[in-house]
Amino acid sequence: MPTLAHPLNRHISELKRRLIIIGATVLVGFMIAFSYSSILIDWFKEPFDNTLIFYSPAEALFASIKVSFLAAIIASFPIILHQFWKLIEPALLKKEQRWAIPLFCIGLVCFVLGLTFCNLVILPLVIDFFVTFGMDRSISPELAVGTYIDFNVKFLLAFGFAFEIPLVLTLLARIGIVAPAMLVQYRKHAAMVALILSAVVTPDATLFTMLLMAVPLIVLYEIGIIGAKIFWQPRTSAQSGDSADDDGVASMSDTPPPSDVPSDKGSDA
């Protein structure tokens, strides 16, 4: 029993260390970004022409905290990817570990593409739709800064991480955890999960905003299936044998040599 508990405790302590590094990086980024929160709020206001207002004394403060936290997540994303890779790296084969730098760059690019797509396409479309809908009914738009920032931050983070779906599915297929046929089989389930996540993540859960998030999620899942079909490589028996041979060599080096067995001549004597 102690031999099983020792590796588990080692993995848990390694996970804690990685999470502490990520948390400390995000905290430092947050403190730096908070000093520029007014500039960040002005940048968020660009899709909306009117002046933002606040209804409670602390609303402007919480809005500054949210935009600073988003900026800290974006700035810390390379460190987050690096720590995640270091956590799973020991479980991969040697040739799979050489993917670190390409996957690191691709993951960062996918996250930035998600943020860019949301900021340039989704958010202006959503804000213009709701503001125009109210103005057509002779209602003047006066948005609270807390609600407005919360709306934008949730959308940006959701699309930033959603654009990692093709990379994750391709990576899982490459190391043999999932197969393209399995992804195709659960396509309808993935669409249902995308609708449920859209209803949970979107601030107002209307059909329009749900579809604006669910449709890109479904498209990203389909791109992940294409990537899985291209790069799928199931683990063969040779690969399993190589890892088993490595383990066997290590275990044989740790075991003491067998004791001398008396020969037949000695027994006859």
Q: Are residues 194 and 67 in the same domain?
A: no
Q: Are residues 67 and 140 in the same domain?
A: yes
Flag whether 249 is in a domain.
Answer: no
Q: Are residues 119 and 168 in the same domain?
A: no
Flag whether 99 is in a domain.
Answer: yes
Q: Are residues 222 and 113 in the same domain?
A: no
Flag whether 263 is in a domain.
Answer: no
Q: Are residues 103 and 50 in the same domain?
A: yes
pLDDT in tens, the chain (269 residues): 445 456 677 778 888 899 999 999 999 999 999 999 989 888 888 777 778 888 888 888 999 999 999 899 889 988 988 888 787 777 667 776 777 778 778 888 998 999 899 888 888 888 888 888 888 888 888 888 888 888 888 888 889 889 999 988 988 887 778 889 999 999 999 999 998 888 887 766 678 888 888 999 999 999 999 988 988 876 654 444 444 444 444 444 444 544 444 444 444 43
Q: Are residues 55 and 138 in the same domain?
A: yes
Q: Are residues 117 and 179 in the same domain?
A: no
Q: Helix, strand, coil % (nearest 5) of the chain?
A: 80, 0, 20
Flag whether 29 is in a domain.
Answer: yes
Flag whether 43 is in a domain.
Answer: yes
Flag whether 117 is in a domain.
Answer: yes
Supply the pLDDT for residue 244. Answer: 46
Question: pLDDT per residue over 57-97, tens digit each?
Answer: 888 899 999 999 989 988 998 898 888 878 777 766 777 67
Rounded Cα–Cα distance for residues 45 and 52 (Å):
8
CA 29 to chain centre: 19
Q: Are residues 188 and 82 in the same domain?
A: no
Domain of 180 in residue numbering reads as 164-237
Q: Are residues 203 and 190 in the same domain?
A: yes
Q: Are residues 84 and 17 in the same domain?
A: yes
pTM for the full predicted model: 0.70
Q: Are residues 102 and 92 in the same domain?
A: yes
Tokens representing residue 153 in the block: 């931050």
Number of domains in the chain: 2
Question: pLDDT per residue over 85-132, tens digit each?
Answer: 787 777 667 776 777 778 778 888 998 999 899 888 888 888 888 888
Q: Of 163, 196, 227, which closes a domain?
A: 163
Rounded Cα–Cα distance for residues 233 and 175 (Å):
7
Flag whether 55 is in a domain.
Answer: yes
Rounded Cα–Cα distance for residues 24 and 13 (Å):
16
Q: Are residues 138 and 222 in the same domain?
A: no
User: Of how many residues is the chain composed?
Assistant: 269
- Mapping DSSP to helix (H, G, I), strand (E, B) and coil, where does residue 53 land? strand
